[in-house]
């Protein structure tokens, strides 16, 4: 069965090309999938445009659109094991983590399903004169290009697909070329749930080839993208000539600020998960540890001990606690960041190399790494390495902690650890980030908005704003008793 899904039909790539998908844990071939070209992207946009302009989906009552999302959530729960396995083979991620992700995917569809079905977004403007009926209605934006990355393939897809469909849009999805399988599976479940033809379209392939036309095509109204900063800038520029609506989530260099009065054991534990979860390939990873001077030595020693105890392994190794990086290129990039950090004066406390274990030699593994005595000007502190690399900086007081935390072009997430609630609130309110955790790291819920400030992007996913992103407000003013105004009389 071919893997491109265009206008309700499973289609092979027009150019007949295929791409091999290999598991990053051991290089084993997962499958060969269709590799789309610009002509396939164009056909998918045409199908989405047609489905928007003349198909039933945008005109389906919100309650029914919500029901479809709820049915999709049921199907995702039914097939969770199959989805988790496919996601793990594509990403190399531990099966247990993929299973958690699939739970979150279903929850995302369920939450948006209820939100959409509840309705209530339109409103009457009751300050209009009595002989006027004035109301604000919300309409779908139109045709959306949804472009997603490889670190949480289906989860990040669900944050876009569920609200886009819930709002009545049609879309073309382009998942990362490295991790296409769960997107293919999702299209089948949307069809099974009863989504009309052409509302959901899928193209697979390289960003530079099949992603670009999705961001330039004049028939596309909106682009929602999650990925790297450099690609985000390109997408913004590509969308500019046709003034598309754009939403971007571009990762972060997230500070984890630990004061000396923090709950020590919990703060250490979370500092390690903040950065080493999924080998650091998390947009909200706590990759910059800022520790108060007097706590520094004891704290770093404990974090290093935790880092050294993390067992690496493939998705089905039940003893493993972290997996490989996504690709050979990405592994080389992470290595280069660590080398740059050392060259610029950082002190290596642990890791700093690929593991010696021959069993891991075929995968893209990198040891959990702690770089101490870092300073804000170092490349490894400034750029998102997106690997298992923790940089440690010291601070003296609250003022310096806030200044260091905000000394980044990014603003996605951050955390503050302290036993002083007033200080926690002060730091949280001064941190320029879309999400701030106090005495915690990483939790999110579909009810709360997610997204970045500064160069982490704009627009919000999840929460009511995550649905509003895919809606246009329209004011309709009906004069109930028109009579000449005689302005020029
Ligand atoms: O991502 P890209 P890459 C960061 C992380 C990582 C870096 C590069 O720092 O090291 O980005 O990763 C598609 N027009 N994040 O190169 O290129 C591409 O095919 C349209 C953070 O893998 O951003 C894929 O589907 N689309 C992040 C998607 O964009 C294009 C998650 C993401 O790929 C395109 C991933 C183009 N010109 C990486 N070029 C996060 N925010 O969580 C590429 N694509």
Closest CA to 139 of 474, 367, 488, 487: 474
C-alpha 372, offset from chain centre: 29
DSSP 395-446: ESSHHHHHHHHT-SS--SEEEEE-S-HHHHHHHHHHS-SSEEEES--S---T
Are 396 and 408 spatial neighbours (Cβ–Cβ below 8 Å)? no
CA 171 to chain centre: 17
For each of the chain's 489 residues, which pLDDT tens digit applies?
899 999 999 999 999 999 999 999 999 999 999 999 999 999 999 999 999 999 999 999 999 999 999 999 999 999 999 999 999 999 999 999 999 999 999 999 999 999 999 998 899 988 889 999 999 999 999 999 999 999 999 999 999 999 999 999 999 999 999 999 999 999 999 999 999 999 999 999 999 999 999 999 999 999 999 999 999 999 999 999 999 999 999 999 999 999 999 999 999 999 999 999 999 999 999 999 999 999 999 999 999 999 999 999 999 999 999 999 999 999 999 999 999 999 999 999 999 999 999 999 999 999 999 999 999 999 999 999 999 999 999 999 999 999 999 999 999 999 999 999 999 999 999 999 999 999 999 999 999 999 999 999 999 999 999 999 999 999 999 999 999 999 999
- Give the separation between CA 270 and CA 267, rounded to whole angstroms: 5
- CB of 91 shorter than 6 A to ligand 1: no
What is the number of the ligand 1 atom nearest to the C-alpha of 212? 14
**Looking at ligand 1, which atom is closest to the CA of residue 232?**
23
Ligand 1 centroid to residue 232 C-alpha, Å: 8
Catalytic residues: 249
State whether the beta carbon of 461 lies less than 6 angstroms from ligand 1: no
Helix, strand or coil, per DSSP, at residue 134? strand
- For 337-380, the three-class secondary structure string (H helix, E strand, C coil) is HHHHHHHCCCEEEECCCCCCCHHHCCCCCCCCEEEECCCCCCHH
255-438 under CATH 3.40.309.10, yes or no: yes
- The answer to pTM > 0.95 is yes
CA distances from 199 to 139, 169, 374 (A): 15, 7, 49
Taking CA atoms only, the protein residue closest to ligand 1 atom 18 is: 207
To test the pocket of ligand 1, the residue of 181, 224, 231, 334 to mutate (highest count of ligand atoms within 8 Å of its CB) is 231
CA distance 424 to 39: 53
> Is residue 235 lining ligand 1, measured as CB closer than 6 Å?
yes
In this structure, whether the domain defined by 4-250+456-476 belongs to CATH 3.40.605.10 is answered with: yes
Give the residues across from 436 on adjacent strands: 414
Give the residue extent of every domain in the chain: 4-250+456-476, 255-438
Give the three-class secondary structure for 488. Answer: coil
Distance of CA 175 from the midpoint of ligand 1 (Å): 10
- Residue closest via CA to ligand 1's atom 31 equals 227
pLDDT of res. 120: 86
């Amino acid at each position: 069965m071919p893997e491109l899904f265009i206008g309700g039909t499973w289609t092979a790539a027009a150019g007949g090309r295929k791409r091999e998908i290999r598991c990053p844990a051991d290089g084993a071939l997962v499958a060969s999938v269709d590799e789309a070209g610009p002509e396939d992207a164009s056909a998918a946009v045409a199908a989405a445009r047609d489905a928007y302009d003349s198909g039933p989906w945008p005109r389906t009552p919100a309650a029914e659109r919500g029901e479809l999302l709820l049915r999709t959530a049921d199907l995702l729960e039914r097939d969770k094991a199959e989805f988790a396995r496919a996601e793990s083979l594509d990403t190399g991620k531990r099966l247990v983590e993929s299973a958690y992700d699939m739970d979150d995917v279903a929850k995302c569809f369920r939450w948006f399903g209820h939100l959409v079905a509840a309705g209530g977004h339109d409103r009457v403007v009751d300050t209009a004169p009595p002989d006027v009926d004035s109301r604000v209605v919300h309409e779908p934006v139109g045709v959306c290009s949804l472009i997603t990355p490889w670190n949480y393939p289906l989860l990040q897809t669900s944050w876009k697909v569920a609200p886009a469909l819930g709002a009545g849009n049609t879309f073309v999805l382009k998942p990362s070329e490295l991790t296409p399988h769960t997107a293919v599976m999702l299209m089948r479940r949307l069809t099974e749930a009863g989504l009309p033809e052409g509302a959901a379209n899928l193209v697979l392939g390289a960003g530079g080839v099949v992603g670009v036309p999705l961001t330039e095509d004049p028939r596309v109204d909106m682009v929602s993208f999650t990925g790297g900063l450099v690609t985000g800038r390109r997408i913004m520029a590509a969308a500019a000539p046709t003034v598309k609506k754009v939403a971007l989530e571009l990762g972060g260099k997230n500070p984890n600020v630990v004061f000396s009065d923090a709950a020590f054991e919990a703060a250490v534990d979370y500092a390690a998960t903040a950065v080493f979860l999924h080998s650091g390939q998390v947009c909200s990873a706590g990759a910059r540890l800022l520790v108060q001077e007097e706590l520094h030595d004891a704290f770093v020693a404990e974090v290093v001990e935790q880092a050294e105890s993390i067992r690496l392994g493939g998705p089905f190794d039940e003893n493993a606690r972290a997996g490989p990086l996504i690709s050979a290129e990405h592994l080389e990039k992470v290595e280069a960041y660590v080398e740059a950090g050392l060259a610029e004066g950082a002190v290596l406390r642990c890791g700093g190399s690929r593991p010696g274990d021959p069993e891991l030699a075929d995968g893209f593994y990198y040891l959990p790494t702690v770089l101490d005595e870092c300073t804000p000007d170092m490349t490894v502190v400034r750029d998102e390495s997106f690997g298992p690399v923790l940089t440690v900086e010291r601070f003296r007081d609250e003022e310096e902690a806030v200044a260091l935390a905000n000394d980044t072009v990014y603003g996605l997430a951050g955390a503050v650890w302290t036993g002083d609630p007033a200080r926690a609130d002060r730091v949280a309110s001064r941190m320029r980030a879309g999400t701030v955790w106090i005495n915690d790291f990483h939790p999110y819920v579909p009810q709360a908005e997610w997204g970045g400030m500064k160069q982490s992007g704009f627009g919000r996913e999840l929460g009511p704003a995550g649905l509003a992103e895919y809606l246009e407000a329209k004011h309709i003013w009906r004069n109930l008793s028109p009579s000449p105004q005689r302005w020029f009389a």
